Structure 1
Amino acid sequence: MTLLAESPVAVGPPAAPPADRMTRRHKLILTLLLGTQFMLTVDFSILNVALPALGADLGFAKENLQWVATAFALPAAGFTLLFGRFGDLLGRRRLFLTGMTLLAAASLLGGLAQSQEVIIAARVLQGLATAMATPAALSLLTTSFPEGPLRSRALGLNGALLSGGFTAGALFGGVLTDVLTWRWAFLLNLPIALLVLVLAPAVIRESRTPDKVRLDVPGAVTVTAGLLALTYGFTAAGTYGWGDPSALVPLLASAVLLTAFYLIERRAAAPLAPVRILNRPSVKWGNLGGFLAFGMETAVIFMMTLYLQDVLHYSALATGLAFAVPGVAAVVAGLGASRIIGRFGSQATLVGGLVVQAAANVGLLFLGTDRHWFIVVLAVLGIGFYGNVTAIVGFNVTATSGLPDEEQGLATGLTTLTQQIGFTLGIPLLSSIVAAGAAGYGSTTAPALALLGGIRLGVAVDIAVTVLGLVLIAVFLRRAARKNAV
């Protein structure tokens, strides 16, 4: 990722004339970077299914288990923008390799952990590693392919693997927990990270902003603190309730800090995220679509993990295997999305994908306690994730296309931030609503029924937010298109 106005140095050999076929080097770069992105996304969700086993082994109270996930989410969201600028200054490949090294060390630490403190520390380090490697990998990927069919194809595969990685993480977590132990959810990273560290220096050349620039320290401090406070506030709301000071104080602080960040960026000589690029409708509304795709559908996976294990009482293995269906749908959608964009355009593809995502999730409003609902969950997730990944590809292309070269890096940086914030904020936001809905049933209702009521409320909010967002996107993008046509 880059968040500078200067044009980034291209990765690899000089760009060839536009072509629809990838070179051998393109394929090597694509395989390496997409494989890494897939692994980082798997890391985000792999412990969701394994949390009960991990908690029992290390003595976590049930109400404190979610902080294992939050320990990852806080640095992953909070430091993405800051590390993106460090990549600009110090070199994106260097930051990418540093992140992968830290990920390997943190995964080993987590796999060997014998206490709650160590497992939390390992998750924090994994979150920091993700904040380093994810924006660097996407920026290296984008600058390796010229705008057009090749970049659309690369972004399509990237979108499929990002969404598929989240569902695959749930699948791997369930299988590893039942067949081996939850510790392999950490140790699985080691051989992959080491392979990347060996191959990347030979395949990817260094890339950085050619001109020396200053670090926007006030902007970096306010946005990092603001995102940390926002993530913490959502998570605390799920644990203590929306009216508790533990949630209200950080949420109010995040509003103040992020407002301050916006004002700082309007006046900064070398802004971390120049506000002017958000004036472009394709960037503004494309990124809203990306947030809805990443945030709302990953929250659905989390809610269905709760439903299958705590309402229908399926094992971790069965729960994990259920997520193979949306994983396959995600890959199929990613492979075909570039053709859909070629026929209907990226903006229509974004809106259409979100429509399918929201419509499919309506089926989850009628879930019951009978185990036959398992089949409905599989069908809904399969259809929903096909629309979800189609929307993700449309978002990436919409938010990065039609811009001058000097703004490409800015646009890529914002899409990376949107992806990361969607992943990290969607689950805390919806889980807090599920918790509030379940608590509303009182102590006289069976826990499974109360949780089911909370999940239905969470799904309803998920659908409502998605529909409201896609309507705004469709209206304002169409208005901008008409204005440009005049």
Structure 2
Amino acid sequence: MRITATTRNPGAALAALAGAQFTVMLATSIVNVALPQIRAGVGLSDSGTTWVVNAYGLAFGALLLAGGRAADLLGRRRVLIAGLAVFGAASLAAGLAVSSPVLIAARAVQGLGAAAIAPAALALVMDLFPPGSGRGRALGVWGAVSGAGGAAGVLLGGVLTQAWGWQWIFFAVAIGILPVLAGTAMSVPRAPVTGSGRFDLPGTTTVTLALTALVWGLTTARRSGWTDTAVLGAFALAAVLLAAFVLVERRHPNPLLPPRLFRAGRVTVGNALMALLGSVWIALFFFLPLYQQQVLGSSPLVTGLGQLPLAAANMLGSALAPRISRRIGATATVTGALLTEAAGLLWLSRISADGSYLADLLGPGILIGLGLSIAFVQLTALSVEGVPRQDAGLAGGLVNTSRQVGGAIGLAVLATLAGTVTTHAAAHQPQLEALTAGYRTAFGVSAAVLVAAAALAPLLTRRTAAAPSRATDKTDKTNKTNKTSPDHAPQPAADGRR
């Protein structure tokens, strides 16, 4: 029987699920302010510092599809609770780490736990709140905590690092997992298993190794150069593994990414746009604290407090997203949100070595917070709309994969680009000017990426028919293309109507 918002206390369940998502997003950015202290504390190299962020992001992104499929096959509540337990234990291990390999390994295990948490929690939200205004409000909360988690991570990281040391950024996450676990166990109802078939271990293995090789190559290129033999070898290995993944998926009876998923709703375009949004999202929370600390000379605490306006704008945008979409349509909402965030990043591309928070960061942060949150809520809703219920966990895993892998690749590319610009600028400019030149380049390129994403947003009008609940490709082939414009057709979940 389908779980609905009336079977249990939906508010308490949503609070627990939102808490799980908040914790996952918090862990993405909480280390950023503390990176200089972590680097000194465990003896990290320049490339190793990036891997403190990328180890989490890569494991998270590469395993999200597997986490979503496991949630469908094993039970979403069960997988969510297991993921929370793994995440908490890994957070504790990271805080206790005394060497860089242990810390990076613990961050990777954190990513493993997060890969189970995020898709299972999103699928449970979709189960608890059927299409309508309730689901729109629930996804608004989801978007608010997702964006606020990134900003709050910078704030909490600054407070804890300055007060008690970098280890406490991990201890705090481990402690915070406990009430989320308790809330999930008490308020989230058990649901019947909706998926069927066998787990696609060959597909999961090949795609995970392919993404690992790709991001490793991108990260190493910053230090060794794009023509380095190891870098080119990593790219070649990634291409071979991705080709192998495609072959495995075509032959597996229960592929990790079944074709029917991409014939439902706006899954393909929604995920492509989410990947572009993610490519600048994680990089933003990486570069912004570094500019504040290394160039403006802000303390970790002041750096964290500087994220509050961005977090407030994020929560406001998430609350407004369903209302805006009802008024102007989903496509126009996504386009406007992406351009708003791009405007904020373009503003950031004008920062200077002798700038200030009020003149250079406050205004852009508000624009970015508004655009980011509205785009995230809408793209999440569009990417899971029309998906068969037995694939809801997989769809949630896919949209999170798109954002997280896009973020990992984006961070690697932008960090490489910024480092290259800084190196060249340092030959004839003071160090602070050279650093600022690299950050300006990263923000400018990020703005260009979002403008490109906005140009692709009209493709969201090409909505395919929702896939049937019976998950067979043979039945899927009978679906007809729905050519109705989404701005005049039933709105996606976050619009509050169907």
Q: Same fold (TM over 0.5)?
A: yes
Change (3 A) 1:348 1:407: farther
The yes-or-no answer on 1:484 pairing with 2:476 is no
Out of 62, 70, 86, the residue aligned to residue 102 of structure 1 is 86
Summarize the Cα distance change of 1:452–1:246 in structure 2 as closer, same or farther, 3 Å threshold. Answer: farther
Q: 1:213: how far off?
A: 1.1
Map of 1:141 onto structure 2:
125
Cα contact 1:292–1:466 (8 A) shared by 2: yes
Instruction: After TM superposition, give the deviation of residue 436 of structure 1 in Å.
Output: 1.8
Q: Which moved more, 1:234-243 or 1:180-189?
A: 234-243
The structural deviation recorded for 1:403 is: 4.8
**Alignment match, 2:474:** none
CA shift for structure 1 position 437: 1.7
RMSD: 2.4
Q: 1:425 aligns with which of 409, 422, 429?
A: 409
SS at match of 1:205: coil
The equivalent residue for 2:333 is 349
SS in 2 for 1:221: helix
* C-alpha separation in 2, matches of 1:483 and 1:40: 36
Equivalent residues, number: 469
Superposed displacement of residue 361, structure 1:
1.4
Query: Is the 1:367–1:373 Cα contact (8 Å) retained in structure 2?
Result: no
Which of 398, 423, 435 is equivalent to 1:439?
423
Structure 2 counterpart SS, 1:243: coil
| Matched-pair contact (CA < 8 Å) for 1:147–1:401 | no
Q: How far does residue 430 in structure 1 lie from its aligned partner after superposition? A: 1.5
d(CA) in 1 for partners of 2:288, 2:195: 48
Structure 1 residue 127, shift from structure 2 partner: 1.5
- The 8 Å contact of residues 238 and 432 in structure 1, kept in 2 or not, is answered as yes
Structure 1: which amino acid aligns with 2:460?
L
Letter in 2 for 1:287: N
Q: Secondary structure at the match of 1:369?
A: coil
Within the candidate set 372, 376, 399, 1:388 is matched to 372
Using the alignment, how far apart are the partners of 1:208 and 1:232 within structure 2?
Answer: 39
Mean alpha-carbon deviation: is it higher for 157-166 or for 257-266?
Answer: 257-266
The 1-side partners of 2:406 and 2:445 are apart by 15
Which of the residues 366, 369, 380 maps onto 2:350?
Answer: 366
Q: How does 1:256-295 map to 2 (within 5 A)?
A: 256-279=240-263, 282-295=266-279
| Cα distance, 1:374 vs structure 2 | 4.7
Residues 248 and 147 (structure 1 numbering): CA distance in 2 closer, same or farther, change over 3 Å?
farther
1:115-264 equivalences in 2 (<5 Å): 115-207=99-191, 209-210=193-194, 212-264=196-248
Out of 458-467 and 41-50, give the one that drifted further. 458-467
Structure 2 residue aligned with 1:315 = 299
The CA distance in 2 between the partners of 1:434 and 1:206, in whole Å, is 48
Shift of 1:41: 0.6
Give the TM-score of the pair, scaled to structure 1: 0.89
Amino acid at match of 2:160: L
Q: Residues 304, 374 of structure 1: CA spacing in aligned structure 2 closer, same or farther, 3 A cutoff?
A: farther
Taking the TM superposition and a 5 Å limit, the aligned residue runs for 1:396-411 are 396-403=380-387, 405=389, 408-411=392-395
Q: Which residue in 2 is equivalent to 1:5? A: none
Aligned to 1:69: 53
Gaps of 5+ in 2: 465-480, 486-498
Indicate conservation of the 8 Å contact 1:265/1:275, yes or no. Answer: no
> By how many angstroms is 1:341 displaced?
1.6
Select 1:60's aligned residue among 22, 28, 44: 44
* 1:297–1:385 Cα contact (<8 Å) kept: no
Q: For the structure 1 residues 363 and 259, does the alpha-carbon distance in structure 2 shift closer, same or farther, using more than 3 Å as the test? A: same
- Give the Cα–Cα distance (whole angstroms) in 1 for the partners of residues 165 and 43 of structure 2: 16
Match of 1:3 in 2: none
Output the CA distance in 2 between the equivalents of 1:190 and 1:485: 47
Residues 72 and 195 of structure 2 are in contact (CA less than 8 Å); yes or no, is this contact kept in structure 1? no
Structure 2 distance, partners of 1:407, 1:200, is: 22
Q: Which amino acid aligns with 1:370?
A: D
Task: Work out the CA distance in 2 between the residues paired with 1:404 and 1:59.
Answer: 49
CA distances 1:450-472 after superposition (whole Å, capped 9, x unpaired): 22111222122211221112212
Once the 2 structures are TM-superposed, how far is the Cα of residue 93 of structure 1 from its aligned partner? 1.6
Give CA deviations for 1:331-358 in whole Å, capped at 9, x if unaligned.
1111111111221222221111101111
The Cα shift of 1:30 comes to 0.6
The runs of 5 or more residues in structure 1 that have no matched partner are 1-8, 17-22
The alignment partner of 1:287 has SS state of helix
* 55-64 vs 389-398, which moves further: 55-64
Task: State how far apart, in whole Å, the 1-side matches of 2:345 and 2:418 are.
Answer: 16
Using the size of structure 2 for normalisation, the TM-score is 0.87
Q: Conserved in 1, the CA contact under 8 Å of 2:30 and 2:157? A: yes
Distance of 2:357 and 2:194 partners within structure 1: 56
Q: C-alpha distance in 2, partners of 1:341/1:306?
A: 35
Give distance in 2, aligned partners of 1:480 and 1:63.
42
More off after superposition, 167-176 vs 102-111: 102-111
- Which moves more between the two structures, 183-192 or 201-210? 201-210
Distance 1:480 1:207 in 2: 30
> Which amino acid is 2:183 matched to?
L
Cα distance 1:323–1:246, how it changes in 2: closer, same or farther (>3 A)? Answer: farther
- Whether the aligned pair in 2 keeps the contact of 1:433 and 1:454 (CA below 8 Å) is yes
Q: Give 1:194 deviation, angstroms.
A: 1.5
Q: Which stretch of the first structure deviates more once superposed, 107-116 or 356-365?
A: 107-116
Deviations 1:407-455 (A, max 9, x none): 6555333222223323433322211211122122253432222221112
Identity fraction in percent: 35
Match of 2:434 among 437, 450, 472: 450
What amino acid sits opposite 1:452 in the alignment?
T
Structure 1 residue 375: Cα displacement: 3.0
